Amino acid sequence: MKILRKILLALLVVFVLIQFYRPEKNEAPYRDVASFEADTKPTPEIKTILENKCYDCHSNKTEYPWYSEIAPMSYIIADHVEEGNEHFNVSAWDSYDTKKRDHKLDELIEEVEEGEMPEKGYQLLHGGFSEEEKEALIAWTRKVREQYQVSN
């Protein structure tokens, strides 16, 4: 018993200590999706899907849930947001050339088809896709890609 109490106390101390370090947040004053949406023209339905399921990790502004204040969740979330934006950031759409845009949307279809995006943990906490949403998002993305084939 004594050793168990010591371990629990040590864990508690660690838990308290890690609260003092706060990872940097992804919080621009507003979510910059204007050039992405001007280019890809999402319907209101698609816009809602992207806003609710994707932009938290793929734009310059994350809507943080309350539990993101608590370590170690704060670290995990910061890590996913950073990595997500490294791969695909709609707020940096202007800096992507046509080839890169097309490639990212190709990846998007693949990730969504395979159920890889939104990330599993995010799906657990925020809810996943309905079949209709998934199909609508894929159909819309295919359409946007056609526009790039023409201009290539």
**Per CB under 6 A, 111 contacts ligand HEC:** yes
Q: How far apart, in whole angstroms, are the C-alpha atoms of residue 82 and residue 4?
A: 37
For residue 54, which of 135, 113, 123 has the smallest C-alpha distance?
123
What's the chain's length in residues?
A: 152
Q: Which of 22, 87, 142, 143 binds ligand HEC (CB under 6 A)?
A: 87
**Shortest reach from residue 7's CB to ligand HEC, in Å:** 32
Q: 139: Cβ–Cβ under 8 A, 6 or more apart, which residues?
A: none
Number of alpha carbons in the 13 Å side-chain half-sphere of residue 148: 18
Q: Which amino acid is at 47?
A: K
Q: Which of 59, 102, 112, 140 binds ligand HEC (CB under 6 A)?
A: 112
**Shortest reach from residue 104's CB to ligand HEC, in Å:** 5
Q: In this chain, which stretch among 9-17, 20-28, 76-84, 93-101 interacts with ligand HEC, using CB under 6 A? A: 76-84
Residues that bind ligand HEC (CB under 6 A): 53-54, 56-58, 80, 83-84, 87-88, 104, 107-108, 111-112, 117-119, 122
